[in-house]
Structure 1
Amino acid sequence: MGKKKHRSGIKRDNYQYTVNVDGACAGNPGLMGIGGVIVKSGETIHSFSEAKGFGTNNEAEYLAVITALEYMIPLCPESVIIISDSQLVVNQINGIYGINYPHLAKLFNRVQTLIKQIGCPVDIVWASREDNKEADALASAAAGMPMAPISDNGSINLWIPDPDYRPDANKLTELPELNWECERGIRDIVRMGGKAKFGEYAALRTGGFDGYSKIDTELLKYYISVRFGQDAVDWLVDAVGEETEYARKVFRWAARGLPPDMALKKVSVDTEITANAVNKRRVVSYD
């Protein structure tokens, strides 16, 4: 396996098998989830979405690579490319970064052992999260933070807005006003699109109590349908249901104007932040 630098425009056709993988963590450390999509000659043949217990983001990313490699062994492949959006894990596996933690070194050694067992060229390369959406959705779902509806056979239904949908101007005027801080934050994230990172989502705040904070689920769904159409409501319900507080948080952000996929991302970021804060308090309490 040669060293591979970060690159875009990956030539998937050069490989018999292409595997996109991702790891997610509800807090760091927290409940880990891994996901992957395995493609042979342009056709998806398998996907996985598995919870992996308590650990860190980097452990989850390694475990996703390991699971993909373990799946490859009985297939006797001729060539494999594994695509991850973890710069750290990709660069450690390719010898570009050092490994400073024994638990990651153990996972690294497992990766190297599996590559030798596969016995064919295996390239492990980096791609952006935007280019790794399906694996990201599978991993996030396994960690309890859904990012898209997932069918029983593991296929992911990513959000695609209806290009012909136009909100009714009169109905838009009926929606509760946003606090200026929230309105500006939503506008900025929508403008950034897929380039919006964890920090931008974390910085987004309601700016205090607003007209979306305490209303019932049915009214939130109506507001979402006004902004994005009924398809958006159906997509979100498929992704998160509608009876949990997690779902209601997602609905509130979509009702405020975050597109459905971004509303899911916002709540997953907030969940990670809350879990990290709880972990920190636990550590302090032990001292």
Structure 2
Amino acid sequence: MNVRIEVTYKTPKRTETIFSSDEMQAGKAILIAEDLEKTGRAKSLTFIDSYDHTWTLKELKEYMKGIQTEPHNVTVYFDGGFDRETKRSGLGCAIYYEQNGKAFRLRKNALVEQLDTNNESEYAALHLGLKELELLGVHHLPVKFIGDSQVVINQLKEEWACFDEELSKWADRVESKLKKLGIDPDYRLVSRKDNQEADQLASQALKEIEITSTSET
């Protein structure tokens, strides 16, 4: 979870002002807040999340302690490939997350035959990642989704209109799953070079090489 800090700062001569920070990870915000408290000049500290909910330092610490046993700090890389000759699609996703003080990487791919375009394959790869998040038990958290498909990323960010009926159906499936899991998506568009792991998983699926693995990083 990302939050911003609002602090009422008091000078030795009792002049007061309010400062607001940029958004940052909650763990980092707690460390900064604790350091501010040591100065003795922070009259009050409030944390505000992306939903504009407010937290006290005690509440935020308790929340962070509670999620340590669940997957958090989640990032999903996804990619889909479509073979025009065989009419088959390769889907790949790599999921990075933390749990119980350790970092993990989950790799998953799939070969499917019911899709008709590369853009559908890209959407299906993202949906595959969402299904894996559901199996992991990820819920009510912000999650980064990183892909190299301008169509998928820009349509889901509502920067591009979606006129294709099939792609609209895929967008609806993605948004329905996000709503069900309570996930707040942060979509990031990257170059294919920066999405090599998911791309390789999709290519391996097209070669009928099945990958399902979780490892500590």
TM-score between the two structures when normalised by the length of structure 1:
0.44
2-side partners of 1:50 and 1:25: how far apart?
12
Question: What is the CA-CA distance between 1:30 and the residue it aligns to?
Answer: 2.2
Q: How many residues align?
A: 141
User: Higher helix share goes to which structure?
Assistant: 1
Could you report, residue by residue, the CA deviation over 1:89-146 in whole angstroms, capped at 9, with x for unpaired residues?
1001111111111111110101111111121321122111101101000001112298
1:71 corresponding residue in structure 2: 132
Q: Is the 8 A contact 1:18 1:83 kept in 2?
A: yes
1-side partners of 2:110 and 2:124: how far apart?
10
Q: Note the 1:44-123 alignment, pairs <5 A.
A: 44-54=104-114, 55-73=116-134, 74-76=137-139, 78-123=141-186
Q: Does the alignment pair 1:143 with 2:206? A: yes
Q: Is the 8 A contact 1:20 1:84 kept in 2?
A: yes
Could you report, residue by residue, the CA deviation over 1:167-222 in whole angstroms, capped at 9, with x for unpaired residues?
xxxxxxxxxxxxxxxxxxxxxxxxxxxxxxxxxxxxxxxxxxxxxxxxxxxxxxxx
Of all paired residues, the percent bearing the same amino acid is 30
Consecutive unaligned residues of structure 2, counting only runs of 5 or more, are 1-24, 27-71
* 1:132 maps to which of 195, 201, 214: 195
Question: What is the CA-CA distance between 1:80 and the residue it aligns to?
Answer: 0.8
Report the CA distance shift for 1:138/1:115 in structure 2 as closer, same or farther (over 3 A): same
The amino acid that maps onto 2:203 is S
User: Higher strand share goes to which structure?
Assistant: 2
Q: Secondary structure at the match of 2:82?
A: strand
2-side partners of 1:104 and 1:29: how far apart?
21
Could you report, residue by residue, the CA deviation over 1:39-84 in whole angstroms, capped at 9, with x for unpaired residues?
0038333111100114210010000111111222333252211101
Report the CA distance shift for 1:145/1:115 in structure 2 as closer, same or farther (over 3 A): same
CA-atom RMSD, angstroms?
A: 2.8
Consecutive unaligned residues of structure 1, counting only runs of 5 or more, are 1-12, 156-287
The amino acid that maps onto 1:36 is C
TM-score between the two structures when normalised by the length of structure 2:
0.58
